[in-house]
Amino acid sequence: MKAMTTAQKNHSMALDNYRARVNGCLATHLSQSSALSENMRYSVLAGGKRFRPILTYTTASVFGVDLTQADSCACAVELIHIYSLIHDDLPAMDDDDMRHNQPANHTRFGVGQAILSGDALQALAFDVLTKNDSIDPETRVILVRQLSRAAFAMAEGQSIDLSIVSKNVEIDLLYSMHRKKTGALLQCAVMLGALLKPDLSSEDKVILSSFSADIGLAYQVQDDVLDVSTSDAVLGKRQNSDADKDKPTFPSILGMKESKKVYRSLYEKACEGVLQLSMDEAPLIELTQKLLSRTF
């Protein structure tokens, strides 16, 4: 096995530091002692990849933003993500009983409590984002608008997903659905980190918007592939859960080989596009390569 370069080691250390950083911040925001906060902590602190907050921290660092400003953005985007997972797992949605190698929130606490936990996490996300006094008020409004649009698009995507179960659909609909259901929040994670830079140029904004849209879609296509090819223990949830529910997926429409080509091409396109950034794009490219090689 080829040894890691110094740059690769430093990148891995940075990702570990970002993961530890957001975990600590999330624990602080969920320190309240009540029955509901216990349910919220159960899902939020169960682990997970934390790729969304890592994207936020990485982008913020590229633009020289103080990470104390990025903390609230990283936490907010992860809280929205976890709320969506709790609700997606519900019997009325995707009806999954496992998440992060433990019983899903509704399996552990009941459907009613799971709904309330998700609702509370969504509210907490915006509370966390708006009360960071190290970010000027005008920027906070911009960040809230970015997050709210992503959360709305995510719900739209889930609505489409529920409506096409057991149906034959065109691949373009799947692309459109997942740009909303998965891509919107991943794109938001990148943009939240960038928008903390007050003088972000319109050129850099366009480049990052395209970059994040590509990795957001790539991430979902890759998820569909991993759902088929990876075991429960590695995934942290049921393997083949989409196929078992007769949900249209990229592998079911395109096949595994073509689906792998699609997500690899999207990651490659993202890396090529971000080369035009005015700042050092290396951390974003390294993170994209990390996403490409993920196994869960």
Asked, for residue 1, whether it belongs to a domain, the answer is no
pTM over 0.85: yes
Asked, for residue 232, whether it belongs to a domain, the answer is yes
Backbone φ and ψ for 283, nearest 5 degrees, come out as -60, -35
Query: 79: number of CA atoms within 13 Å, CB side?
Result: 30
Q: Whole-angstrom Cα distance, residue 51 to residue 265?
A: 20
Reduced to 3 DSSP states, what percent helix, strand and coil does the chain have, rounded to the nearest 5?
75, 0, 25
Q: Please report, in angstroms and rounded to a whole number, the separation of the first and last CA atoms in the chain.
A: 21
Asked, for residue 104, whether it belongs to a domain, the answer is yes
Q: Which domain holds residue 178?
A: 6-292
Residue 90 pLDDT: 97
Asked, for residue 208, whether it belongs to a domain, the answer is yes
Question: What total number of domains does the chain contain?
Answer: 1
Low-confidence residues in the chain, pLDDT < 70: 1-11, 33, 231-240, 243
Q: Whole-angstrom Cα distance, residue 61 to residue 55?
A: 10
Tokens representing 171 are: 């691949």
Contacts 24+ apart (CB under 8 A), 200-209: 200/63, 201/278, 203/276, 203/278, 204/277, 204/278, 204/279, 207/273, 207/274, 207/276, 207/277, 208/59, 208/274, 208/277
Asked, for residue 221, whether it belongs to a domain, the answer is yes
Residue 233 pLDDT: 62
CATH number at residue 244: 1.10.600.10
Local structure of 255: helix, strand or coil: coil
